[in-house]
Amino acid sequence: MKEAEIRQLLAANLLSAFSVVLSAVVPAFFWDGFTVLGTHLAWLCSCCVCVSTLSIILHLVLKPNLSPKRSSFAHKISRFLKCCIYFFMSCILFHTIIVLYGAPLIESVTETFLFAVLLSTFTTLQCLCMLGPNIQAWIRVFSKNGAMSIWESSLQITTMCSILGAWFGAFPIPLDWDRPWQVWPISCSLGATFGYMAGLIIAPLWIHWNRKQLTYKSR
């Protein structure tokens, strides 16, 4: 395993983490009163846009899982449309799961859906950028010893950290502390965001420390 590839992964992940920071800082220059807590829905949109844009740019520049086969323009359009459909389906699926876990069904629909979009951005969009609309590849990557590159190992870690962060973020909501950040879905979205950023930092470090034990085999 090349150290240069690990450094490239670390740099890409740090840029992704920096995009989250920018989503909270840049809008404040153009929107008076913009804060992560006070205008949380606006921040959710800003974060999704920043992370999505940088993820797509990094994929186009680094091309970690570039297929050796050349594809036609029609195939690229079809692939893009499938990715859009998969992302939208992911938002609906996350929204449904969140409601089943106790989120309001009718009230706060916008908040719940934007939280679902945020989770899809941290998880599904990353899979689409790296693996494309290939469900079999997704199943392979998230199965035991299924990763075939350090990029796929990083994808595993960041995805799991994002979901776990959202889950842990739900714990303070029922408590009677009456804190502003306990309003739905602030603690969950912040938990998912911190989990995502933690995964971005943990992934290259974990891969570096375990590089001698990691053997990626083509399947």
Residue 60 in any domain: the answer is no
Q: Which residues constitute the domain of residue 129?
A: 73-218
Short-list 127, 134, 93, 131, CA closest to 113: 93
> What's the structural domain count of the chain?
1
H or E stretch covering 78: helix 73-100
Q: Which two tokens stand for residue 23?
A: 């989503």
pLDDT given at position 219: 47
Distance of CA 18 to the CA centre of its chain: 13
Angstrom distance (rounded) from CA 137 to CA 177: 44
Residue 186 in any domain: the answer is yes
Residue 87 in any domain: the answer is yes
Residue 26 in any domain: the answer is no
pLDDT in single tens digits along all 219 residues of the chain:
578 888 999 999 999 999 999 999 999 999 999 999 999 999 999 999 999 999 999 998 887 765 556 667 788 899 999 999 999 999 999 999 999 998 988 889 999 999 999 999 999 999 999 999 999 999 999 987 788 889 999 999 999 999 999 999 999 998 888 898 999 999 999 999 999 999 999 999 999 898 877 777 654
Residue 192 in any domain: the answer is yes
Residue 42 in any domain: the answer is no
Residue 7 in any domain: the answer is no
Residue 139 in any domain: the answer is yes
Where b means 16+ CB within 10 Å and e means fewer, 168-187 reads: ebbeebeeeeeeeeeebbbb
pLDDT given at position 65: 64
Where b means 16+ CB within 10 Å and e means fewer, 144-154 reads: eeebbbbbbbb
